[in-house]
Amino acid sequence: MIHKIEHVDDGFVRVHKQSCITGKHHSMVLPTRQGELEYWEESMALVQDVFPHFTPDDWDKAFGSEEE
């Protein structure tokens, strides 16, 4: 569950979320809009279906590559 969404710039939001595994709080700027994030959470759709504009490069920057 996303705890807070902040508008950063046109087409970008900062998402604050707590890890369900470690309990640590994290934040990340994503190239999307608040409504898209809310739809994704409510619909339980696959992230790749709702956010096809998150390219592999975006995922590697956000989450690291498989090689790391």
How does pLDDT run across 9-66, given as a tens digit for each residue?
999 999 999 988 999 999 999 999 999 999 998 998 988 888 888 777 766 777 776 6
* Sheet strands (E) in 1-68: 2-9, 12-18, 25-30
Alpha-carbon span 33 to 17, nearest angstrom: 16
Alpha-carbon span 25 to 33, nearest angstrom: 21
Enter the pTM of the model: 0.67
Alpha-carbon span 37 to 6, nearest angstrom: 11
Q: CB neighbours (10 Å) of residue 25? A: 11
User: 68 by DSSP, 3-state: which?
Assistant: coil
